[in-house]
Amino acid sequence: MQMNMESSFLNGLTGKVIAPYSKEYGEARQEWNRAIQKFPLVIVYCYETEDVCNAIAWARCYHVGIRIRSGRHHYEGYSTGNLVLVIDVSPMKGIKLDKANHTLCIQSGAANQEVYNYAGAEGYPFPGGTCPTVGVVGYTLGGGWGYSSRFLGLGCDSLIELEIVNYQGKVLRVNEREHADLFWACKGAGGGNFGVVTAMTFQLPPKIAGVTLVELEYLKTSPDTMVSFLDTWQKWLSDLDDRMTLNASIYNSADAGLGIYGRGLFYGSPDEAAEILQPFERIEGAIINLEAMTFLEAMQKIQEGYPESEKFKSTGRFTDRQYNLAELRKIVELIGQRPEGSVYAAVSVYALGGKVRAVAKRETAFYYRDATYILGIQSVWEKSKYAAANISWVQKRFKYLKAITKGSYINFPYSCLKNYEKEYYGENARKLRQINKKYDPRNVFNFPQAIKK
């Protein structure tokens, strides 16, 4: 199919249509991860559900592949592609609060920052993600880990209803009573499968007066200190107060050298948080900052540090056991030397347990409920010429992480997985294939690592 197609070829598409000859195309095709460089056939910015329906009908008429995009944050760039139709729902940003029932309905273009600002202004916390521009719907479809997960559950655990446009362009209302199997699948089976979600309704938790923002740091540290930190981390998680959710990175930075940085939320007072964090304070060099503030203030401060874009390779695996000291040293050694051109390389840990584990692994599509934490690896670079070296660096180290972990987190996807359905969904994969066959029998929503029939 030629990139210089006639404008009449686009008849039937509604919303804002961006073709390769459009002046906005260069920016419109970009993902947040600038290491992803794809060239869609056409991009449609949808302002209402009808635009989504028309886009699906057009793609089927012309046998064009579909990708679904909101926040542009897919690690492997599966929200775009070469010579495909990108259905971009980011203009659909409606948010509505039902104060009587304490529910929040959001359209699929709403990002973390927008939902936090809306709910937080009303005094509600929200179990969203960390980066301000991540789309809440995509985050939720993958389960949704965030700094409230151990206290409020994953993002999908608060989901009570969604609206989805299917392969026929029909709008389905999906909840525990209507299309219950599809509702189950959408709670953890990743974005891009089954249809285009255009809205979600969440049950909000009770209002809160405030939280404690936790920051934990070790500057210019040593590999031995990193080993001590990871050992303390895994033991600390075994009986951790559910009100605390933390993530931390052991890193090798071009600017700062070796270090450790962690942050998160505690749904309680700074004094209580200080008591809980004592095991980390006993490690030499600890700098712990605890600050009481509103939930909204905490999320705004967390989100301040995110760049507008990056070039990176990153992924994450589930851990369900404690590692011995030799294994921990091996993990630390993974970042001992950065790849050429890397400005930041890290191994990161994300606390699970608490309310995440309170839901059975077959109760939603998110299978790895029993995991203790997510163990991730990443490298960030600035110049495109170093992309291959950094990607190779992650691939080589991933082999070790895969050997000591149980499965991969769909929101931290990895293109090199061989049996990706089993890796992402565990024993839920078979049921998901059956549901996909039922709701997308023509395989309209197909992309790399899509659920297959």
What pLDDT does residue 190 have? 86
**pTM of the model as a whole:** 0.96
d(CA 364, CA 351): 19
What pLDDT does residue 2 have? 44
Rounded percentage of the chain residues whose pLDDT exceeds 90: 97
Paired tokens of 296? 């909204």
* Secondary element (H or E) of residue 434: helix 429-439
For 428, phi then psi, to 5°, come to -85, -5
By C-alpha distance, which of 298, 296, 243 is closest to 272? Answer: 243
Cα-based distances in Å from 419 to 109, 262, 415, 426, 429: 31, 32, 11, 10, 11
* Secondary element (H or E) of residue 333: helix 325-333
Q: For the stretch 418-438, what's the b/e string if a residue is b when 16 or more beta carbons lie within 10 angstroms of its beta carbon?
A: eebbbbbbbebbebbeebbee
By C-alpha distance, which of 203, 173, 205 is closest to 186? Answer: 173
The CATH number of the structural domain formed by 95-207+428-438 is 3.30.465.10
The model's pLDDT over 360-416, given as tens digits with 9 standing for 90+, comes to 999 999 999 999 999 999 999 999 999 999 999 999 999 999 999 999 999 999 999
Residue ranges in 126-245 assigned as alpha helix (H): 136-141, 149-152, 180-185, 223-236
3-state helix, strand, coil split of the chain in percent (to 5) is 30, 25, 45
d(CA 112, CA 121): 14
User: Residue for token digits 């936090």?
Assistant: 116
- pLDDT at residue 1 greater than cutoff 60: no
Cα-based distances in Å from 171 to 54, 89, 417: 12, 15, 33
- pLDDT at residue 4 greater than cutoff 70: no
Angle at 193 between CA 79 and CA 318, to 5 degrees: 85
For 234, phi then psi, to 5°, come to -70, -30
For 433, phi then psi, to 5°, come to -65, -40
The CATH number of the structural domain formed by 211-403 is 3.40.462.20
User: Residue for token digits 């565990």?
Assistant: 426
The model's pLDDT over 119-141, given as tens digits with 9 standing for 90+, comes to 999 999 999 999 999 999 999 99
Residue 218's SS3 state is strand
d(CA 69, CA 46): 10
d(CA 116, CA 265): 14
What pLDDT does residue 8 have? 83
Q: For the stretch 124-133, what's the b/e string if a residue is b when 16 or more beta carbons lie within 10 angstroms of its beta carbon?
A: bbbbbbbbbb
Locate the domains of the chain by residue range: 7-88, 95-207+428-438, 211-403
Q: Are 235 and 144 in contact (CB under 8 A)?
A: no
Cα-based distances in Å from 38 to 56, 76, 371: 20, 11, 35
Rg of the chain's alpha carbons, rounded to an integer?
A: 22
What pLDDT does residue 285 have? 98
Residue ranges in 86-222 assigned as alpha helix (H): 112-121, 136-141, 149-152, 180-185
Residue 203's SS3 state is strand
Beta strands in 53-195 (DSSP E): 66-69, 85-88, 95-98, 103-107, 159-165, 171-174
What is the rounded average pLDDT for all residues in the chain?
97
- The topology (CATH level 3) of 7-88 is 3.30.43
Chain-centre distance for alpha carbon 211: 23
User: Residue for token digits 């449609």?
Assistant: 44
The neighbour count for residue 325, using CB atoms within 10 Å, is 11
The model's pLDDT over 40-89, given as tens digits with 9 standing for 90+, comes to 999 999 999 999 999 999 999 999 999 999 999 999 999 999 999 999 99
The model's pLDDT over 166-177, given as tens digits with 9 standing for 90+, comes to 999 999 999 999
d(CA 107, CA 11): 26
Distance between start and end Cα atoms, the chain? 27
Paired tokens of 5? 């197609």
The model's pLDDT over 320-367, given as tens digits with 9 standing for 90+, comes to 999 999 999 999 999 999 999 999 999 999 999 999 999 999 999 999
- pLDDT at residue 3 greater than cutoff 70: no
Mutual orientation of helices 223-236 and 325-333 as an angle, nearest 10°? 120
pLDDT band for position 5 (cuts 50, 70, 90): low
Paired tokens of 117? 């600002």
Paired tokens of 369? 């409920």
250 conformational bin, left if phi > 0, alpha if psi -120 to 50, beta if neither: beta
For 69, phi then psi, to 5°, come to -140, 140
